[in-house]
Structure 1
Amino acid sequence: MDLDSDSHVPKYAQIADIFRRRIARGQWPTGFRLPANEQLAAEFGVSRVTIRQAVELLARDGALEAQQGRGTFVTGGARQDRWLRVETTFADLAEMYRDTSPEIITISESRSVAPLLPEDGKAAAKYVFMRRVHSRAAQPYCVISIYLDESVFRRSPKRFRSETVIPILAELKQPKIVRARQTLTIGTADVDVARLLHVPLNSPVAEVRRVFTSADGTVIYLAEVTYRGDFVRIEMDLRP
């Protein structure tokens, strides 16, 4: 199997990501004994040291366990990585962000024009743009670009800079959010996203676009979010 030799992501990390996908898809079920390091090294065209590094990475995550004299086995821990729910109601989305308490790294902040579509609603006078990486236990799971109505941002700039935005918006009495919608598409990680999320180039990602509007139709919040594909879980109630 060919790896991306031009990627900034080390080969052992690329291999670990492939192992994660095999576990998540059930190709390597719980209790499965991995092939010998020599066999895996031949499959990927790397040294046994590189395979050991990949295995050690997943062992630290609890997905694999090396048993002396027996081999390396799948523990099933990787299945629990899909902790990130893409919620389908505004209230559930706000609650999810309260519960996760992500570590926020702001990459940039500026004033910008929001890339609105005609069906989104009318533009606010000004927007504050924030680009961030959200992490959990030092593991980045999404890159998010936020366009927030500047008049809303100025109400609590310190909180908006240090906390996730949606729970704060949910607390506001005015402007009240009367319409909230999101679309989800499946894509692949480009060079920038791969670097920020620590995944191989062209890894599967979930791309979410969220738009919140106030009573007069003004878009007060627009977010473009890219999630690691191996963390995302979507649950929906299907109406009969």
Structure 2
Amino acid sequence: MRHFFQYSASPLYAQAADAMRERIVKGVWPIGMRIPSLPLLSKEFGVASITIRQAVQLLKEEGLLQPEQGRGTFVKAKPLVHPQMQVVSSLVALADLYRELTPRLIPISEGIAKPKIESDDGIPAPKYHLLRRVHSYEKQLTSVISAYIDERIFKLAPKRFRNELVIPVLMDLKSVKIASARQILTISTAGVEAANALNISVSAPVAEIRRVFCAPDGTVIYLGELTYRADFIRLDMDLLA
């Protein structure tokens, strides 16, 4: 049996789900359509029927597919547009946007860690507290983030940092002054760690965002490395604004 997929560390069912999800996103499989049978998909993708069944189950849990007894499996909905990926022009606007969001925060790891700080980022803080976690909306894993917070600042509100989005907490701390804040967005492909965290295949398209906030003295007080699933991203830009 010849595989439709290239070699990847991700499970075959996750790769099959990626391919099927992409068809839904692009309208190849429109809402209301009955998708091909498991044997046909198994033959097309070159994988076992149980692999296709696992992929369908994953998309069912995401709310995209709906099996109907005796009729087949139908497309129920398209993936949700990720609400965070809006173009904003200021840190205040970004913080306000984040205050409106209520993702489920799924911890992966926490502890003292050293981020990779580039020469033009700023001055490294003595110690950083790392919060690595996944954001989930509507039971769908949407992004994974590694948040490096100056340990001195983390100690000001450890409970809030652990249970809330980082940027609004930083903005609320009166003793914390942010003199510069920049972010870089790069379209890339998922590495093994991001793929495992988001349940997508290795090399699946993703958007990577790197955020660096500095204090007035140039110390990097926050460095965030985020990876978003590409099917949850929409950038809507008014080119005449």
TM-score by length of 1: 0.84
Aligned to 2:78: 78
Aligned to 2:106: 104
Aligned to 1:180: 181
Counterpart Cα distance in 2 of 1:103 and 1:62? 20
Q: Is the 8 A contact 2:112 2:127 kept in 1?
A: no
Aligned to 1:2: 4
Q: Is the 8 A contact 1:109 1:131 kept in 2?
A: no
Structure 1 gaps of 5+ residues are none
Aligned to 2:48: 47
Q: Is the 8 A contact 1:175 1:215 kept in 2?
A: no
Q: CA deviation at 1:49?
A: 3.6
Residues 7 and 70 from structure 1, CA distance in 2 versus in 1: closer, same or farther, beyond 3 angstroms? same
Counterpart Cα distance in 2 of 1:79 and 1:188? 19
Counterpart Cα distance in 1 of 2:206 and 2:94? 19
Q: Is the 8 A contact 1:142 1:226 kept in 2?
A: yes
In percent, how many aligned pairs have the same letter? 46
Are 2:227 and 1:199 equivalent residues in the alignment? Answer: no
Aligned to 1:209: 210
List per-residue Cα deviations over 1:187-232 (Å, max 9, x = no partner): 1111222112211111111110001123333321111111222222
Q: Is the 8 A contact 1:211 1:219 kept in 2?
A: yes
Aligned to 2:122: 121
Counterpart Cα distance in 2 of 1:184 and 1:218? 22
Deviates more, 1:212-221 or 1:184-193: 212-221
Counterpart Cα distance in 1 of 2:93 and 2:78? 25
Counterpart Cα distance in 1 of 2:208 and 2:36? 34
Structure 2 gaps of 5+ residues are none
Aligned residues, how many? 237
Amino acid at match of 2:112: S
Q: CA deviation at 1:174?
A: 2.6
TM-score by length of 2: 0.84
